[in-house]
Amino acid sequence: MAKNRLFRGILLTLAFMLCMTGVIGEIRRASAEETSEIVSSYPYTTVTKVKVNLREARSVKSGLVKRIPAEAEITVYEKNGNWARVEYNGSKGWVRTEYIVLKTVKKVTVTPTPTPAPTPAPEKDAGGYVVLKKGSKGAEVQALQEALIELGFLTGKADGNFGDATEKAVIAFQQRNKYPDTGLMDANIQAFLYSGSPLNAKGTATKINTVSPAAGATMRLNNTGEPVGQLQTMLQNLGYYTGTITKRYDMATRAAVTAFQKKNGLKADGVAGAETRSLLESGAGLPSDATPAPTATPTPKPTKEPVYTTPKSTVKNGSNGADARSVQTRLKDLGYYQGKVDGKFGRASVNALKNFQTNNGLKADGVAGKSTYAKLFSAQAVAYNSPETESPAPVEDTTETDSSSESSFWTTLRSGDSGTDVKQLQENLIQLGYMSGKPDGKYGDTTTAAVKAFQKANNLKDDGTAGPETLKAIYSGTAKAASGSTDSSAAKTTTTLKRGSTGADVKNLQSKLIEMGYLTGKADGIFGSKTTAAVKAFQKANQLKADGVAGAKTLQQLEKGGTAASSTAKPTATATPAPTAVPGGTEALAGRPSASRVIYANWYTTVKDVCKKYPYATVYDYSTGISWQVHIFSVGAHADCEPVSASDTAKMIRAFGGETTWTPKPVWVIFADGSVYMGSTHDTPHGTSHISNNFDGHTCIHFPRTQAQVEAIGPYATSHQETIDQGWAATRRSGS
């Protein structure tokens, strides 16, 4: 009996333990489900739990794309059963979901609430934008609708009423641009819509012409909307503008703004920025000489957009007649063609048409067919010389039938010249990587040197004078970017470098060896014993003759990338002193972030999405302890941003020693979710601005990119990457 009781006791104990194990398992599973991170939409970034195979399709029998290591960062685009479609280091495919850290995708939904009467004042968000949602009304909604129509998300007329159709269009815009599809338009999304390069309904990045409704927004050529009409009216009352009120910032409006600026001692750039608009709106601006005194006149009624007659036949080189004349006339109205409208479609007309096609996202073949007519004879046609476009000079030659006259289409520019043509030349040289800094419209020694470098790289006579052949090459769209000049990040593969060599090619060689982990320190352009040893190590790792001489094979292997040193994962350049915070002071960030929290992550695969999700961030200069707030409004090859207030502008400039400079500074960028990323920035204002903050333009924040990515962008991107890597080395030393 005693044995039976003992046996029953053991069985009961085992049963209880098994029951508790099941309960604990359920609790653990429930806990795991409850703690799963929630995101608003795909794609999102996560990591692998273990090593996992990336497959071509949702089957273990499908082709193997590559093997992903454990704890690797991946981007998840969708989940289908037990598989997830992901991207890792540029490769896409499918992985089993049990091997990755999944997140719960839960779209944010907004339950509309009835609007009480009287309607409360609209909520003002940062940057002067009004938060718009279903039921909103007014000029801000009308501007939003015009922008959505321009981008192809909305059809019909902009009536200023945020109804079902507008909400549907907003959601479509948000989905296309990878924002949470809430149907709400807050300040962040509006700033991106008006000042960034949003994707249109077809998925093409586009800078819209609809002017931002935010107070004091800058207006320039090709902008449209009610604010433009108000600007035209004010200029008309002062005698500067004599045309009709079209609500379109055309060449006549630009000329009127320029004349007003000259008369009132402002910078005469034809752009209606904050200072110009403020003076106009104050009523204190001086009237035109043609107007003895500013007298009030009735506001003319806005005129309808002009109606154009589209040609019936295709117009191309050699075409004659009425259709050719119509195309010439329209190109001349838009500023692309300045020759004689004679119905003879020759070389100059073809070039003008190609320039129009380039600026309007069309195939630049110089043939006016159905697709070109649809844009050319529409109210949405982009005119020549918009600050947001980079076009060749408008064609002025009238002798079109003689192909030998092509050189007369271009105005030769040389040392000592100045003006808009020089500025446009400089902008293109900067974009191609032959110049750095800001274009000033003055053809000096720097511009001459840049032109020479461009000519040499593009097999032209390198005399430093921008003649017809040089200008044609620069504006061709196929111009060779800087790669062999002193700014190049790649050494010429035909050069043999060895101990005792010096110069830019040696410096480029050293930079690559540093990047790949074979060399430490700074690239100084002197091929010494350390560089020799690094070359030997690279050669040995890449099955080359290990003689320490960088010949053609070694340089070619470096260009391809080759095998990196196994002892390093990231550059270990040294330059920036160990981070130290300034104790106290109003600029010091409360609770200075730990260096150990800083993340070194690629811009394209990680940080870009973080910026979209959290467009308001804190920039922290760890070398001074000064921090400032920014609003990120556009993301392309880097983050375009503005200081949120005048106080933030002052702090930023103080961090740069009280002056503005293009020289990159390594910084930590802290986002709203608490994540901290390594980056670099400058404090020179340029381009778009729409916040009243004592900063006439915006600045840029760069984040880590691969060597190939920065080389594709140009030397300035390379300088930012070098700064980031130096800052990362200092950050790791500080956090260790």
Over residues 135-165, the pLDDT tens digits come to 988 888 999 999 999 999 999 888 989 999 9
Tokens of 345: 């479609």
Residues 6+ apart with CB under 8 A from 26: none
Residues 377 and 456 in one domain: no
Residue 568: pLDDT over 70: no
What is the phi-psi region of residue 588: left when phi exceeds 0, alpha when psi lies from -120 to 50, beta otherwise?
A: beta
Over 50: is that where the pLDDT of 35 sits?
A: no
Of the three residues 383, 408, 433, the one that is the final residue of a domain is: 408
Q: Assess contact for 703 and 722: CB atoms under 8 A.
A: no
User: Which of 682, 684, 708 has its CA nearest to residue 697?
Assistant: 684
| pLDDT recorded at residue 85 | 93
- Give me the pLDDT at residue 115, please: 43
Mean predicted confidence (pLDDT) in 91-117: 71
| Number of Cβ within a 10 Å radius of residue 243 | 16
pLDDT, one tens digit per residue, over 344-389 is 988 888 888 988 888 887 888 889 988 898 888 887 788 775 443 4
What is residue 571's predicted lDDT score, i.e. its pLDDT?
A: 38
Report the pLDDT averaged over residues 12-22.
56
Task: Mark whether 606 and 676 lie in a shared domain.
Answer: yes
With respect to residue 398, please indicate whether it lies within any of the assigned structural domains: yes
pLDDT in tens, 202-214: 888 888 889 888 7
In this predicted structure, which of 72-86, 287-301, 611-625 has the lowest mean pLDDT?
Answer: 287-301
Between CA 632 and CA 636, with CA 633 as vertex, the angle to 5 degrees is 95
Query: Does one domain contain both 625 and 672?
Result: yes
Does 313 fall in a domain? no
Report if residue 623 sits inside a domain.
yes
What is d(CA 335, CA 338) in angstroms, rounded to the nearest whole number? 7
Q: Are residues 389 and 448 in the same domain?
A: no
- For the record, the structure tokens of 529 come out as 């014993």
Q: What is the CATH number of the domain that holds 55?
A: 2.30.30.40
Residue 678: pLDDT above 70? Answer: yes
Q: Of the candidates 56, 25, 44, which has an alpha carbon nearest to the alpha carbon of residue 100?
A: 44
**Domain identity same for 343 and 355:** yes
pLDDT of 67 reads 92
Q: Which residue has the tokens 């059809």?
A: 155
Task: Locate 244 and state its tokens.
Answer: 């009709």
Number of H helices, E strands in the chain: 20, 15
Number of domains in the chain: 6
**Residues composing the chain:** 736
Number of Cβ within a 10 Å radius of residue 340: 15
Domain for residue 258, yes or no? no
The identity of residue 188, as a single letter, is N
Looking at residues 230-245, what average pLDDT do you find?
Answer: 88
546, part of any domain: no
The least confident of 175-184, 315-324, 394-403 is 394-403
Indicate whether 64 and 11 sit together in one domain. no
Residue 361 lies in a domain: yes
Give residue 370's pLDDT. 86
What phi and psi values does residue 143 have, to the nearest 5 degrees? -65, -40
Coil, helix or strand for 263?
A: helix
Which parts of 584-693 are beta strand (E)? 598-599, 616-621, 626-635, 639-643, 665-670, 676-681
Please state whether the predicted TM-score (pTM) of the whole model is above 0.85: no
For residue 730, what are the CA distances in angstroms to 182, 666, 678, 724? 41, 10, 11, 10
Residue 146 pLDDT: 92
Task: Look up residue 200 and give its two tokens.
Answer: 């249109």
Query: Residues 612, 731: one domain?
Result: yes
Nearest to 732 by CA among 626, 596, 543: 596
Q: Which two tokens stand for residue 561?
A: 């990338």
Cα separation, 536 vs 532, in Å, equals 6
Q: Quickly count: other Cβ atoms within 10 Å of residue 603's Cβ.
A: 26
Average pLDDT, the chain: 78
The reported pLDDT for the residue numbered 149 is 94
Write down which residue in 361, 383, 408 finishes a domain. Answer: 408
Report whether the peptide linkage leading into residue 118 is cis, meaning its omega lies within 30 degrees of zero.
Answer: yes
Q: Is residue 459 part of a domain?
A: yes
Percent of the chain with pLDDT over 70: 79
* CA atoms within a 13 Å half-sphere pointing along the CA-CB vector of 383: 22
Q: How confident is the model at residue 570 (pLDDT cuts 50, 70, 90)?
A: very low
**Per-residue pLDDT at 545:** 87
Is residue 292, in this structure, part of any structural domain at all?
A: no
Confidence label for 567 from pLDDT (cuts 50, 70 and 90): very low
Own/partner long-range contacts of 552-561 (Cβ < 8 Å, ≥24 apart):
552/493, 552/494, 552/496, 555/491, 555/492, 555/493, 555/495, 555/497, 555/509, 556/493, 558/491, 558/509, 558/512, 558/513, 558/516, 559/490, 559/493
Judgement on whether residues 27 and 42 belong to the same structural domain of the protein: no
**pLDDT value at residue 111:** 45
**Closest by Cα among 482, 484, 491 to 435:** 482
Q: Which alpha helices (DSSP H) does 463-567 contain, by range?
A: 468-474, 504-515, 529-541, 552-560
Q: Which residues contact 18 (CB under 8 A, 6 or more apart)?
A: none
State whether residue 411 is helix, strand or coil. coil
CA 663 to mean position of chain CA atoms:
19
Domain that holds residue 462: 410-474
Q: What does DSSP say about strands 83-88 and 91-96: parallel, antiparallel, or unpaired?
A: antiparallel
* Region 720-732 average pLDDT: 90
Sort strands 73-80 and 665-670 into parallel, antiparallel or unpaired.
Answer: unpaired
Q: Which CATH number characterizes residue 445's domain?
A: 1.10.101.10
Is residue 370 located within the same domain as residue 465? no
Same domain, 615 and 672: yes
pLDDT band at residue 332, thresholds of 50, 70 and 90? confident
81 lies in the same domain as 173: no
Domain boundary among 137, 161, 195: 195
The vertex-194 CA angle with 653 and 693, nearest 5°, equals 25
Q: Do residue 19 and residue 46 come from a single domain?
A: no
